[in-house]
């Protein structure tokens, strides 16, 4: 099982990375904007230093640009920050062209903005380290995100290869349970879902009872 914390908020990293629950962190331009941080190599270099200092084994940062050349150039600059930086690239034709060059140079790449099982095939053919389907946004669009990701997992198992499905756009702990039961083992989610992975009223009541007993209550 491999979990990632999906945020660019360093306070959330400080709160969660020492827990040992997460393999690393994932970011993208939207999350950087939400954290009021510029999408730049310099900013991501600072984020990488903070994340690795807090125990992250990988920082996944998204490249940007409208052309394959721009996506490659920015991705190359992100990869040069640290070997533990994985470059995220949208699964467009331009993204695939940039990813192919980065992967050929030994850079770890995540193909992102994935909404359909067949895109998992493309990511695996490219030799991507991860392919990131957006469960919640698939469902928002009226698709059966769960079925699409299970189909992707089936095709990836049949095709072989090392590309891992990294499910994003997760909004409830039950999303992870259902997908993990179907054999999916890599997920990225924000602090709210991280909290939900521990939340249970009976657990809270039992913990309170332990505290009272320990205090002689
Ligand atoms: C994907 O990379 C995004 O960071 C995130 O997973 C999207 O989640 P949302 O659809 O709940 O906004």
27, 33, 59, 136: which to mutate for ligand 1, most atoms within 8 A of CB? 136
Predicted local distance difference test score (pLDDT) of residue 217:
65
For a pLDDT cut of 70, what percent of the chain falls above it? 100
Q: Measuring from atom 12 of ligand 1, which residue has the nearest CA?
A: 169
Cα 56 to Cα 51: distance, rounded to the nearest angstrom: 5
Q: Say which residues have a Cβ less than 8 Å from residue 3's Cβ, sequence separation at least 6.
A: 21, 22, 23, 186, 187, 188, 189
Under 8 Å between Cβ of 78 and 24? no
pLDDT digits (tens, 9 = 90+) for 154-181: 999 998 889 999 999 999 999 999 999 9
CA of 168 to the centre of ligand 1 (A): 6
Predicted local distance difference test score (pLDDT) of residue 117:
97
Q: Measuring from atom 5 of ligand 1, which residue has the nearest CA?
A: 169
Find residue 128's DSSP bridge partners.
Answer: none
pLDDT digits (tens, 9 = 90+) for 128-151: 999 999 999 999 999 999 999 999
Q: Say which residues have a Cβ less than 8 Å from residue 36's Cβ, sequence separation at least 6.
A: none
pTM of the model: 0.95
| Residue 61 CB–ligand 1 contact under 6 Å | no
Question: What percent of the chain is helix, strand and coil (3-state, nearest 5)?
Answer: 50, 20, 30
Predicted local distance difference test score (pLDDT) of residue 19:
87
Q: Region 83-111: what's the mean pLDDT?
A: 98
* C-beta contacts of 63-69 below 8 A and 24+ residues apart: 63/87, 63/88, 63/89, 63/98, 64/29, 64/39, 65/94, 65/98, 66/94, 67/94, 68/93, 68/94, 68/95, 68/97, 68/98, 69/98
Q: Region 15-42: what's the mean pLDDT?
A: 96
Q: Would the pLDDT of 99 be above 90?
A: yes
Atom of ligand 1 nearest to the CA of 136: 10
The three-state secondary structure class of 24 is strand
Q: Region 178-187: what's the mean pLDDT?
A: 97
**DSSP letter assigned to residue 52:** H
Please report the ipTM that was assigned to this predicted complex: 0.93
Predicted local distance difference test score (pLDDT) of residue 148:
97
Atom of ligand 1 nearest to the CA of 137: 10
């Amino acid at each position: 099982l491999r979990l990632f914390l999906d945020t660019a908020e360093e306070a959330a990293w400080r709160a969660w990375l020492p827990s040992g629950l997460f393999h690393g962190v994932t970011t993208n331009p939207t999350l950087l904007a939400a954290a009021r941080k510029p999408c730049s190599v310099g900013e991501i270099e600072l984020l990488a230093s903070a994340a690795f200092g807090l125990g992250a084994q990988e920082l996944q940062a998204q490249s940007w640009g409208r052309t394959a050349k721009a996506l490659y150039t920015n991705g190359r600059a992100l990869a040069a920050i640290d070997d533990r930086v994985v470059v995220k690239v949208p699964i467009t034709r331009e993204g695939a062209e940039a990813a192919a060059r980065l992967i050929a140079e030994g850079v770890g790449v995540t193909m992102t903005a994935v909404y359909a099982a067949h895109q998992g095939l493309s990511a695996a053919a490219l030799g991507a380290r991860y392919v990131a389907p957006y469960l919640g946004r698939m469902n928002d669009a009226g698709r059966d995100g769960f079925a699409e990701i299970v189909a992707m997992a089936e095709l990836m198992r049949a095709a072989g290869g090392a590309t891992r499905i990294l499910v994003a756009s997760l909004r409830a702990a039950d999303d992870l349970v259902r997908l993990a039961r179907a054999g999916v083992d890599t997920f990225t989610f924000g602090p709210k879902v991280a909290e939900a992975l521990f939340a249970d009223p009976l657990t809270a009541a039992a913990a309170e009872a332990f505290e009272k007993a320990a205090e002689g209550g």
